[in-house]
Structure 1
Amino acid sequence: MKILGHRGIPVLYKENTLQSLFAPFSFGADGIETDVRLTKDGVPVLIHDETLTNFCGTDVRVRDLTLAELREYKSDGETVPTLEEFLKFAPRNKCLNIEIKEYEAGELSVLICRKFYEGEIIFSSFNHHLINELKEKYNGLKFGYLFDEQHTSMSDEEIFALFDKNTYSAHLPVVGLLYFPERLLNIIKELKRREIKIVLWTVNDKNDIARISEYVDYIITDDVRIFL
């Protein structure tokens, strides 16, 4: 089981800043998960939310700012990093889970990651159409589908159909084990039978996965120290 820091280690530092993203490696983490959006001038940057409200208290959209303008906003001295600058300094041969938040950021993120990083990279998104397109075009790279409450109306057959070709992983919310444990466990078992990797997010208590740990390949956590 690989341990990935959720946006770094947000219990210690502002999420998705370079300080937060690099810190999990010092505790022995196998990798990190981070989020990619585009600035107004088309630069992939690492931030989860559409706006800077959570980052620095300013209600302005990332996509409405150029990179130069975005650099003017700081949180405790930290700016929103670009994908490229993180990749250039990230430890080699670790696992990076790159969550693509916007369709427009998809292919560019893949190209930049291939250029600047040597190590395991899993590209994931809640936008299943985007993942369908990328996995068709970039055969051999690792792609995964993210699921949350918006996908509960999908049938099991519709879910399994996503994994028929060139799909590496399923990214499932650990909270699902609380609300529909039997269904989620059955889905996990079938995906494992199909040799699909299981990624659980966001796991902050060992007890949450104690009974299914044998099926889990990656966990994403706010505090890697819990598991290391």
Structure 2
Amino acid sequence: MRLRILLSLMLLLLLAGCKPSISDTGENIINTGRFLDDVIVVAHVGAPYEATYNSLGGFALAKKYGADAVEFDISLTKDNQHVVMHGPSMEMNSTCQHLMKNVAEYTLEELKADCALNNGEPIRTLEEMLLEIKDWFDYYFIELKVYDQNKISLQADDVAKTIKTFSLENKTIVTSYDHDALKKVVNQGIVGGRDTYTPNEFTHLNNSAYEYFLTDFRVLDNSIIDFIAHTDRKLVAYTASDLAQFKQIYDMGIRIIMTDDIKNTMHYVLSGSN
């Protein structure tokens, strides 16, 4: 009887050890239930092949499929409110595309009254979106879009304040192609990710305030990947359009990968089958 109890306890401990977790540094995923246990998969704008991008519905699908992280864009309205939209135009995912206006030409009230996403969802502020999804993912990559250089400080202050309001400092990486805006965000204690198409920037990694660097996987080569591997910075490659490209990026040795094909990618990551 005692032996049976002892064996049962050992089995419970073994099963507990198999629960998925991500290290505090974000460098490794330890998940014995996954086929690939060393990769962080980032759902680019949710699930764009099945849902309106930057939508709650798309993020819900990414969560359903098991994405480790989600990436989305934020833009500023005329009255200085961050909304979850790529901008600057109202683009193809909005019912206001035909008006040929930019996000910055609307106040938040006007935007909510006149426009919606193509799937019928309301356009949400950053705060409204985080309220919905703050417990869904291990990491949040928020791309800060800057279309008015005079509002850089305002944008940096607002996004940092909102992230801290939800206590997401340890789970959020703010990314941007605008160096000045990103630097101001990082100075407020938020982790920064530098978006760049220029491989030469990687030679300055050790003097950079940014913990993450994000770039198109097609500009990377072995020398850049090896160089970054010997720093304490993290490389994020974007954007795999399908499972074949995800595998290509993975075989390059990159372990944080952004993808549009979140459904098929996560099926492969979890099960090993195509």
TM over 0.5: yes
> Are 1:120 and 2:171 matched, yes or no?
yes
Residue 121 of structure 1: how far off its partner (Å): 0.5
The 1-side partners of 2:48 and 2:249 are apart by 25
Output the CA distance in 2 between the equivalents of 1:174 and 1:134. 25
Q: Structure 2 vs 1, CA of residues 24 and 117 (structure 1 numbering), >3 Å: closer, same or farther?
A: farther
Structure 2: which 5+ runs fail to align?
Answer: 1-38, 147-151, 267-274
SS at match of 2:124: coil
Match of 1:63 among 74, 82, 104: 104
The answer to whether the Cα contact below 8 Å between 1:46 and 1:83 also exists between their aligned partners in 2 is yes
CA pair 41-19 structure 1, distance change in 2 beyond 3 A: same
Q: Which residue of 1 aligns with 2:195?
A: 146
Partner residue of 2:18?
none
Structure 1 segments, 4+ long, off by >4 Å, are none
Distance 2:185 2:203 in 1: 18
Q: 1:176 to 1:165 in 2, by over 3 A?
A: closer
Q: Is the 8 A contact 2:89 2:103 kept in 1?
A: yes
Q: Which residue of 1 aligns with 2:235?
A: 198
Equivalences for residues 155-194 of structure 1 within 5 A: 156=200, 158-177=201-220, 184-194=221-231
Tell me how many residue pairs correspond in the alignment: 214
The separation in 1 between residues aligned to 2:264 and 2:249, in whole angstroms, is 17
Mapped contact 1:197–1:216 kept (Cα < 8 A): no
Name the structure with the higher strand share.
1
In structure 1, the gaps of 5 or more residues are: 178-183
Q: CA deviation at 1:168?
A: 1.2
The 3-state SS of whatever aligns with 1:76 is coil
Residue 51 (structure 1) aligns with: 89
Higher relative contact order (CA 8 A, sep 6+): 1
The answer as to 2:72 corresponding to 1:34 is: yes
Q: Residue 63 of structure 1: SS of its match in structure 2?
A: helix
What's the Cα RMSD here?
A: 2.1
2:89 aligned partner, one-letter code: T
54-63 vs 7-16, which moves further: 54-63
Q: Which residue of 1 aligns with 2:45?
A: 7
8 Å CA contact 2:77–2:106 kept in 1: the answer is yes
Quote how far apart the aligned CAs of 1:83 are: 0.5
Q: In the alignment, which residue of structure 2 is the partner of 1:101?
A: 145
1:113 aligned partner, one-letter code:
I
Gap change, CA 1:163 and 1:21, over 3 Å in 2:
farther
Q: Secondary structure at the match of 1:227?
A: helix
Cα shift at 1:174: 2.1
CA offset at residue 175 of structure 1? 3.0
Structure index of larger Rg: 2
Indicate if the aligned counterparts of 1:84 and 1:112 stay in contact, CA closer than 8 A. yes
The counterpart of 1:77, out of the listed 120, 123, 128, is: 120
SS in 2 for 1:21: helix
Q: What residue number does 2:185 align with? A: 134
Query: SS at the partner of 2:101?
Result: strand
Paired residue for 1:88, among 124, 131, 136? 131
SS at match of 1:199: strand
- Deviation, structure 1 residue 111: 1.4
